[in-house]
Structure 1
Amino acid sequence: MRFVADDPNLLSEERLARAYVSGMDESPTFGRTLRSGDQVVVERVEDSSGCFHIPWPIAGAGDWLLGTSSLVERERPYRLEVELARGLLFRVRDQLAGWEQLGLRLSDPVRDGVREATRLFSRAATTQATDPSAASRLANEAIARAADTACLLADLYAEQALDIRMAGGKKLTTLLGVRLGPKAPRGPTAKRIAETFNLAAVSCGWGLCEPIEGTREWEPVDKPLDWARSAGLRVCAGPLLEFDERLMPDWSYLWEGDLETLTSLMLGHVRAAVQRYRGRVQLWHVASKINRERVLSLTDEQRLNVTAAAVRAVRQLDPNTPVVVGVDQPWGEYRAKRPAELSPLDYADALERADLGVAGFDLQLDIGYRPDGSELRNPLALSRLVDLWNLRLESPLMLSLAFPASAEEDPQADPRLSVVAAGDKPDLLTPERQAEWASRRLPMLLAKNAVQVALWSELTDHGAHRLPNAGLWDARKQERPIVGKLNELRKRLLA
């Protein structure tokens, strides 16, 4: 596929490195995107049609990952702005039609937005041959209007779906949680957490609990877990196994390549944790990032087998407490940069078919980060993702969420991760923007029956943490506006 754009500055190497082609299911296919003169060229092994996705600036919102509609390969280049407008407008209209069939009542702003975006796109599509620059300008205007309309449509769906679910004054039984650090919260922070959330996730990973082979340290688990129980919060313990090269014990790499020993060591940690904490937790998070490669040289099949054995071990020792398993990058962005046979859904489907008793799956949604996070997208893409997983698996979902409050350097975060949500306008990311994102996206997700747990992944930016600037409290231990928004959601929506 080939594309030309009116503004070549938007086709930076950094943006092209994040671009890919997908099928209609939006699952990426392996390939590369590069500049060749004034054209963007997409090279893939497959020669079938597909949707081209690239981060694109949305006025006032940062970079959204936009996708074209399905395009065939050809020598003549497509005009990128026009095709991105076509793709976004198609997705908005398609989702609108689907929700209308389910009984959604449209508002005038949504109708007007769709009508105006369609008018602008039609003009762009019909002038691209005679006046390419004008077509690109009109297409960008159509993108902006369609993006605004997508947000309004998501808000409208959330409002009406929640009204139905909460008819008669009922409140949702959904759990709203936060991941705690290795120390128990204290003072006003502890009080604020207890009144905002009804679930605490307590890390219990192998690397955290067994930093020295044969010596287990439970204090980083005991303290936050005991505090959560004393505060009346339900407890999710885990992940017990985290398939991340930085979260495995350093000494475990001495056994790299020895599958039998590694499996025995991992299951030893799982059994020790369950025996210690059973009866004190309401949910076991057995394994996370099961679709992450390059960890201890384990193959896809070996990671699945270890995960399945860990689930069986937990179920044997604590048969009454539900277990969940987590995947990273649920849109499968990693498949664009390396040939991978399995999509995130395929991993989950394999465990589901094994009939292990997995109660649900955790989708790790680190929005606006790379390389191991997920791009900021049209909010309707979040809705489609949840619907797709629910349709395929019919299992409850846990969503582990994060969104940055700043694009500034965060020296105490994982240096492998960078913030990309703001594009080339870092001032767009502020604590207020983080709060707005959470307050508008969470109701849409909570409105879905499939979502049983929504968990914020970072408590604070103070001290060592994984995601840059995603904490509910900043590096100076100051509460960010997002806490107030989550508190309001808890009181308004949740039992």
Structure 2
Amino acid sequence: MGDLHFHTSQAEEFDPRVWNTAYLTGIEGIPWHCHHRLQGEQFSIGREIDESGKLNIVWPTTALGNVCLATTSLRLSPKLYNLGVEVARGTVHQLKNQAYEWQRIGLKFPDGFLPLADQALDYLLQGLTAPAQSKQQHTHAQNAIDQSLQASVALCDTFSTQALDSRRATEGRLATLLGARLQPEVSLTSIGDALNSAFNLVSVPVELGRVELSSGKTDFSHFDQQVEWAANVGKRVCVGPLVNFRKGQLPQWMVLLDAEFEKVLEVSCEHAARCVERYRGKTHVWNCAAGLNVPGDMNWSDEEVLRMAVALIETVRRADERSPVLLTIDQPWSEYLRDEPNGISPLHFADALIRADLGLSGLALDLSFGTEPGLSFPRDPIDISRLVDRWAMLGLPLMIHLSCPTHTPQGPQSSSSTAGWKTPAASSTGAPINFVSPELLTRLLLCKPAVHAVIWDNLSDRVPKAGGASGLWGVDGKAKPLLRNMLDLRRTYLH
């Protein structure tokens, strides 16, 4: 077996669930099915093949809270690696590489970036030369991680602003769409004007599980009202996902009766055809499905998953030959594969659909961040930027569904994306710990030419959502600062 062994003197300081997030990846970044164990201060992780690999693990930081970080590629060795030092090495390495790449294309570093980056490297060198397994070694490694993440935020903040300004100078106002996902539970009466000002797109999730409340009985009334409202105010509309295959989202009768694949296929395609017939001419983009590439309630084979995707795409394409047709890819970092030895990777799934030449117009990536099952682990902004660049290589336009914790207007932020976990103390600046700023993430995604739309995936905290309070409006009904940030982004860069 290909096991890697680490020493970690801080094991007792971590939330015990941290160790269950660990997995190994190869050169393609796709996780292997892993086994792991923690014995005292030794953590071991491995898989069935003897190859070098990167360890990925959710790591507590004072800069971004609990965030998934990676080591550099490690060769198999009987010796113990120092876990903190290796995570620090990987974090500093990624920062330095990205800074060099962006500097080559003309990025001007922000004030204070180089001192932060240099200090991170100094801390790493001190950690490498400190006595092995000492408290000083752990402290230096943790400082290197925190300084690197602060530098990463500053770097990505500057890159996104400079990239957007450059694109606006050459292209004028961008045609990129900035949208919000509507929810049947949230009335548009009180928030419609704010939505109309901040966004040029709305997503209407006419999902089979929301429409078919019982077998054979459907109710489109909420969605009809939303589509009608969007048409009246001149918004572009994305309808879908038409069928949501994530756990708990299919009609209950399908799951309770363990419906056969062919029956689910038939009902899903009928619903897709019905939606296209109902909203054709009022919809600018169709999103066929979500949750197909991740484990769901139905336990289908890879072949059945692909058959379902193909059938839904072809159904929508036959009913509407003109409007773009997309399909959502969940957990694009593939974290679920660490527990699924026979799962299908997101990139291979998407590549198979593209090669089939079905008329797929683009891909929707779901970037819902959190540590709950079904979400992508929180990531630093460089990792998010590199993921989008990797998916852009497939050559199709990207639509991003984004969700992460947001601030409340009262000042203290809402629960973090790792709600309920032990978190490190607040940073030395006194700033509360949170994931990356959602405004920064939105700007970073909008600056990418391959990204044609960014959709904020939660309107209100009154509608519970995994990953923490991520609404544009709080439970008190008041708008959060993020809504104003979205409005400013649209007014500055978009139509």
TM-score (norm 1): 0.92
2:57 to 38, 54, 57: 54
**1:352 Cα deviation (Å)?**
0.5
Partner of 1:475: 475
Distance verdict in 2 for CA 1:79–1:466, change over 3 Å: closer
Partner of 1:412: none
1:34 to 34, 37, 40: 37
Maintained 8 Å contact 1:267/1:309: yes
Runs of 4+ in 1 over 4 A off after TM superposition: 426-429, 431-436, 463-467
Partner Cα distance (1:169, 1:386) in 2: 21
Confirm or deny that 1:127 pairs with 2:130.
Answer: yes
Partner Cα distance (1:445, 1:88) in 2: 21
Partner of 1:276: 278
CA RMSD of aligned residues (A): 2.5
Maintained 8 Å contact 1:185/1:227: no
Distance verdict in 2 for CA 1:432–1:4, change over 3 Å: closer
Deviations 1:8-63 (A, max 9, x none): 22444210011111113332211133211221111322221111111112214211
Output the amino acid matched with 1:443: R
1:313 to 312, 315, 319: 315
Output the amino acid matched with 1:449: P
Alignment of 1:90-109 (within 5 A): 90-109=93-112
Partner of 1:441: 441
Deviations 1:436-456 (A, max 9, x none): 712212111111101111001
Partner of 1:251: 253
Partner of 1:490: 490
- Partner of 1:313: helix, strand, or coil? helix
Partner Cα distance (1:186, 1:247) in 2: 24
Partner Cα distance (1:436, 1:64) in 2: 10
- Partner of 2:441: helix, strand, or coil? helix
77-86 or 103-112, which deviates more: 103-112
Distance verdict in 2 for CA 1:154–1:359, change over 3 Å: same
Partner of 2:75: 72
Partner of 1:198: 200
Maintained 8 Å contact 1:432/1:482: no
Deviations 1:443-470 (A, max 9, x none): 1111110111100111112246565411
Partner Cα distance (1:327, 1:154) in 2: 24
Partner of 1:238: 240
360-369 or 287-296, which deviates more: 287-296
Maintained 8 Å contact 1:113/1:146: yes
Alignment of 1:47-446 (within 5 A): 47-129=50-132, 132-167=134-169, 170-182=172-184, 185-253=187-255, 256=258, 258-391=260-393, 393-405=394-406, 419-420=417-418, 423-425=421-423, 437-446=437-446
Partner Cα distance (2:463, 2:136) in 1: 50
Output the amino acid matched with 2:449: N
Partner Cα distance (1:464, 1:99) in 2: 39
114-123 or 177-186, which deviates more: 177-186
**1:294 Cα deviation (Å)?**
3.4
Partner Cα distance (2:51, 2:209) in 1: 43
Alignment of 1:3-42 (within 5 A): 3-42=6-45
**1:5 Cα deviation (Å)?**
1.8
- Partner of 1:449: helix, strand, or coil? coil
- Partner of 1:482: helix, strand, or coil? helix
Distance verdict in 2 for CA 1:287–1:405, change over 3 Å: same
Maintained 8 Å contact 1:62/1:421: no
Distance verdict in 2 for CA 1:332–1:119, change over 3 Å: same
Partner Cα distance (1:335, 1:378) in 2: 21
- Partner of 1:263: helix, strand, or coil? helix
Maintained 8 Å contact 2:230/2:237: yes
Maintained 8 Å contact 1:367/1:375: yes
**1:426 Cα deviation (Å)?**
9.1
- Partner of 1:357: helix, strand, or coil? coil
Maintained 8 Å contact 2:179/2:200: yes
**1:156 Cα deviation (Å)?**
1.8
- Structure 2 stretches of 5 or more lacking a match? 409-414
**1:341 Cα deviation (Å)?**
4.3
Partner Cα distance (1:418, 1:256) in 2: 36
Deviations 1:302-332 (A, max 9, x none): 1211111111111111110001100111100
Partner Cα distance (2:463, 2:14) in 1: 36
Q: How many residues align?
A: 483
- Partner of 1:355: helix, strand, or coil? coil
Distance verdict in 2 for CA 1:151–1:451, change over 3 Å: same
Maintained 8 Å contact 1:435/1:482: no
**1:405 Cα deviation (Å)?**
3.6
Partner Cα distance (1:277, 1:426) in 2: 49
Partner Cα distance (2:424, 2:150) in 1: 20
- Structure 1 stretches of 5 or more lacking a match? 408-416
Partner Cα distance (2:201, 2:283) in 1: 10
Deviations 1:239-259 (A, max 9, x none): 111112311111223663523
TM-score (norm 2): 0.92
Output the amino acid matched with 1:491: R
Output the amino acid matched with 2:148: A
**1:265 Cα deviation (Å)?**
1.4
- Partner of 1:370: helix, strand, or coil? coil
Output the amino acid matched with 2:418: V
211-220 or 73-82, which deviates more: 211-220
Maintained 8 Å contact 1:461/1:473: yes
Maintained 8 Å contact 1:174/1:452: yes
